[in-house]
Amino acid sequence: MKQLKKEYLSKKVQDLKPSGIRKFFDLAAGMKDVVSLGVGEPDFVTPWTVREAAILSIEQGYTSYSANAGFLELRKEIAGYMNKQFNLTYSPQSEIIVTVGASQAIDIAMRAILNPGEEVIIIEPCFVSYSPMVEMAGGVPVHVQALKENDFKILPSQLDAVITEKTKAIMLCSPNNPTGTMLNKKELEDIAMIAIKHDVLVIADEIYAELVYDEEYTSLPSVEGMRERTILISGFSKGFAMTGWRLGFVCAPKEMSQAMLKIHQYAIMCAPTMAQFAAIEALQNGRSDIIEMVKSYRRRRNYMVQSFNEIGLTCHSPGGAFYVFPSIESTGLSSEEFAERLLLEESVAVVPGNVFGESGEGHIRCSYATSMDQLQEAVKRIKHFISKLER
């Protein structure tokens, strides 16, 4: 068949780089007996009562659109949840939008605030979608590196140094993907001071807020002066083990929410209704399931941190999410080389740290959202791999 003219595609899309994670999934997909620490999603199946609520809604014939912003009943549940868990008050009528995953929430947030050429500060290592989403919205991503010597926590002075006249927002993710690093109240207050000083917005990706293991969680808009300048992104994928349902939400002051709603209503109409019924049940009765999942993740995190340190791959203990981010610098391999050889020689899939940004180099991301048996097998194989390298 004739090759399609590349000019059919927009310049912006032509310039987008494919995600560095994909390459490893594609390689792993063609192999047998792979232990995967690669995927960023819970190994738990969505709790049964949540699944049942969706089934019931289908049986009862609730198959039409909901309100653009999502069922009001669900928005009321979200408002109650945000209030109870994080001490935040958002109006279900005008400040909450139910989205197709946190992913769509980030997308409409960018598109609602960015004029061409305006900058968004992206703190690396980070989720691979942020920069492309800024670019697709016409903005310019400005990368700043959270460093391993600071436990991958960004310093306020680093933010201060990169903010310019063109800066519109800071993208902040805590607990973080890929490092698992969580920022405490004091650290958030320090970042808030910079945002307020320069009058910039913050898009706070708090999708992992339920999965925290040591300290109490502080949500950014609960910090003094931040509610009015924060677009809060969250959702059901991680904490509620609902990745495939594609359901997230965004909370923001009325003017920003209504701007995002304009985009949402034209592009998406509404999030899937059966998933919304499931989410109502998850918020009403899902707390005990979350508590059990968090207990299990904490055990696995402890095991992985201890194992990596014993193997000689320095690994700090992350406060949240379900990733560890050990250093592989002692091996002398680049993160790409390490990940590729580990996959080909020992059939263990991990993600090289460099795909998450410059300061991720020298590390690998390992998701511990898989069974303890699989984790033990992975550790055994990684140990074998390292001992071979040492020979």
Q: Quick check: helix, strand or coil at residue 384? A: helix
CB of 240 to ligand PMP, least distance (A): 10
- Using CB under 6 A, which of the segments 62-70, 132-140, 235-243, 281-289 binds ligand PMP? 235-243
Contact 318, 181 (CB under 8 A): yes
Query: Does residue number 103 form part of the binding site for ligand PMP (CB under 6 A)?
Result: yes
Query: Does residue number 102 form part of the binding site for ligand PMP (CB under 6 A)?
Result: yes
Rounded-to-integer distance, Cα 187 and Cα 194, Å? 11
Query: Does residue number 118 form part of the binding site for ligand PMP (CB under 6 A)?
Result: no
Q: Peptide bond preceding 42: is omega within 30 degrees of 0, i.e. cis?
A: no
Q: Which of 20, 47, 92, 101 binds ligand PMP (CB under 6 A)?
A: 101
CB of 235 to ligand PMP, least distance (A): 4
Quote the crossing angle between the two packed helices 48-59 and 273-285, to the nearest 10°: 140
Nearer to ligand PMP, 112 or 379 (CB): 112
Query: Contact letters (x/-) for ligand PMP, 195-224, by CB under 6 A?
Result: ----------x-x-----------------
Nearer to ligand PMP, 177 or 230 (CB): 177
**Which residues from 119-178 bind ligand PMP, rule CB under 6 A?**
127, 173, 177
- Using CB under 6 A, which of the segments 26-34, 99-107, 109-117, 213-221 binds ligand PMP? 99-107
Q: What are the start-end ranges of the H helices in the chain?
A: 11-15, 20-29, 48-59, 72-86, 101-113, 130-136, 156-162, 185-198, 254-267, 273-285, 287-311, 335-346, 372-390
Contact 219, 265 (CB under 8 A): no
Rounded-to-integer distance, Cα 218 and Cα 160, Å? 22
Q: Which of 91, 145, 184, 243 binds ligand PMP (CB under 6 A)?
A: 243
Neighbour tally for 266: CB within 10 Å: 9
CB of 243 to ligand PMP, least distance (A): 5
Q: Quick check: helix, strand or coil at residue 363? A: strand
- Using CB under 6 A, which of the segments 96-104, 179-187, 331-339, 341-349 binds ligand PMP? 96-104
For residue 111, the one-letter residue type is: R
Q: Quick check: helix, strand or coil at residue 108? A: helix
Nearer to ligand PMP, 79 or 204 (CB): 204
Q: What is the bridge-based pairing of β-strands 167-173 and 364-367?
A: unpaired
Nearer to ligand PMP, 153 or 346 (CB): 153
Query: Does residue number 320 form part of the binding site for ligand PMP (CB under 6 A)?
Result: no
The residues that touch ligand PMP, with contacts defined as CB under 6 A, are 40, 101-103, 127, 173, 177, 205, 207, 235, 237, 243, 248
